[in-house]
Amino acid sequence: MPTPLIPKADLIEIFSSIQGEGTLVGIRQIFIRFPDCNLNCRYCDTDFLKSPTCLIESSSGSGELETVKNPFNFSRVKNLVTKWNSELPDAHHSISITGGEPLLHGEVLLSWLPELRKILPIYLETNGTLPDQLEVLIQHLDWVSMDIKLHSQTGLRTEWEIHRQFLKIANQTDCYVKLVVGEETPDLELQLAADLVSEVSKRIWIVLQPVTKTGQITLSTNRLLQMQALTSEIHSKVRVIPQTHRFMGVL
Ligand code: SF4
């Protein structure tokens, strides 16, 4: 039987760095960033536009990026990940599949993830709005970092029901929910998010992530602590974690 064709993909970048957000903050991962997003959040500072080229770190952790032509053959990605993992055994905890919104590349991920997972476990970073696409891939994932996108920060309508469906599927992995919060975030949004998470599972962590602008957290400590207290009244597993990679100056 002929070997099924493994699809190529346009990528934004591949690099090795420290996870700066969420419950796995501080671990080292190999990041594979995919282009495109289905949302347009007001605070977005991620370069996710598809381009004819992709940036690849020349060696794991060097910080030096080489420009390489898109699209990418899977064998090239697999060889790179295998090489970095064998050069630094045990240094990398997992592979972070990130974007943009990586679930927009379902066909590619369905073919790539089972192979990549033979090298390292898979961690998905997602905006939590594409449950059908998650369902297809869930068996190939170990961790899911999902957002509940709050209107006060994104400027977009919060899709509560879609987030609920998504979290129910993500709960088959070790998942957590990230809420990006700022001065404008009202108590009601935190209550609704905490109710939603609590209803799906009491064991899922909520991470309150204060908006960071030019390396500074824009929320006052008092307001952050109020938010933590309010969310904890409904759901006991709440952490406050800013984007730490911004302070470390890593990729
Ligand atoms: S979901 Fe993420 S990548 Fe997409 S627009 Fe929002 S912040 Fe940017």
State pLDDT tens for residues 67-81: 999 999 999 999 999
pLDDT in tens, 180-202: 999 999 999 999 999 999 999 99
pLDDT score recorded for residue 208: 98
Q: Considering Cα of 63, then 143, then 156, then 238, what sign does the dihedral take?
A: negative
Residue nearest to atom 3 of ligand 1 (CA): 100
Pocket of ligand 1 (CB under 6 A): 37, 39-41, 44, 46, 48, 99-101, 127
pLDDT band per the 50, 70, 90 thresholds, residue 29:
very high
Instruction: Measure 191 CA to ligand 1 centroid, in angstroms.
Output: 23
For a mutational test of ligand 1's pocket, the pick from 46, 124, 158, i.e. the residue with the most ligand atoms closer than 8 A to its C-beta, is 46
**What domains does the chain contain, in order, with CATH numbers?**
13-248 (3.20.20.70)
Instruction: Measure 143 CA to ligand 1 centroid, in angstroms.
Output: 19
For a mutational test of ligand 1's pocket, the pick from 48, 157, 166, 179, i.e. the residue with the most ligand atoms closer than 8 A to its C-beta, is 48
Instruction: Measure 88 CA to ligand 1 centroid, in angstroms.
Output: 31
pLDDT score recorded for residue 201: 98
pLDDT score recorded for residue 47: 84
Average per-residue pLDDT for the chain: 94
Instruction: Measure 104 CA to ligand 1 centroid, in angstroms.
Output: 12
Instruction: Measure 1 CA to ligand 1 centroid, in angstroms.
Output: 41
Q: Of all atoms in ligand 1, which is nearest to the CA of residue 129?
A: 1
Does residue 33 contact residue 100 with C-beta atoms inside 8 Å? yes
For a mutational test of ligand 1's pocket, the pick from 101, 130, 166, i.e. the residue with the most ligand atoms closer than 8 A to its C-beta, is 101
